[in-house]
Amino acid sequence: MILAAGTPAPDFRLQATPDQQLRLSELRGRPVILAFYPADWSPVCGDQMALYNEVLPAFAQSHATLLGISVDSAWCHQAFALDRKLHFNLLADFEPKGAVSKAYGAYDEDTGTSKRALFVLDGDGRIAWSYLSPTAVNPGADGILDALDRLGG
């Protein structure tokens, strides 16, 4: 089970680039979207991240920060983001493998990857909305946008 609405979001520090880290608590005071996904370069994940890249202006209207998270390395994320022209951070839940995914209940022990899970956090760092999508299904952005609207963004 992924973490439910009302739960404090576990803090974390992950690689955003090969030489930079990002701590979730640094983003307090504004909504944060966490998009856990199985792997860079997979067809559904590529489509999902491309869609979020297109929807970034709508997320920005709510002052929300989008973070993609998978167990791929920072180097893999860097190549994927460059190839797909992504304009948001992809965080490497690489070592210890899947530790952040596990903290959010979004780790698939069978495949060793993150599940396709979405979380919208409020400015106080609490989960306002969460959703677990089937792995083979792009969850889209409607649920995220509805959750941001409910936050008053």
Instruction: Summarize pLDDT for 64-87 with one digit per residue, the tens.
Output: 999 999 999 999 999 999 999 999
Question: In a 10 Å sphere around its CB, with 0-12 CB exposed, 13-18 middle and 19+ buried, how is residue 30 labelled?
Answer: middle
pTM exceeds 0.75 for this model: yes
Give CA–CA dist 58/103, Å, rounded.
28
Instruction: Summarize pLDDT for 118-127 with one digit per residue, the tens.
Output: 999 999 999 9
Our measurement of the distance from residue 75's CA atom to the centroid of its chain's CA atoms, rounded to an integer in Å, reads: 17
**Domain residue limits, the chain:** 31-150
Share of residues in the chain with pLDDT > 90 (%)? 98
Give the residue numbers annotated as catalytic, written as ranges: 45
At 152, is the pLDDT very low, low, confident or very high (cuts 50, 70, 90)?
confident
Give CA–CA dist 44/57, Å, rounded.
22
CB 42 within 8 A of CB 9: no
Q: Which CATH superfamily is domain 31-150 in?
A: Glutaredoxin (3.40.30.10)
Give CA–CA dist 20/43, Å, rounded.
27
On the question of pLDDT at 153 being above 60, the answer is no
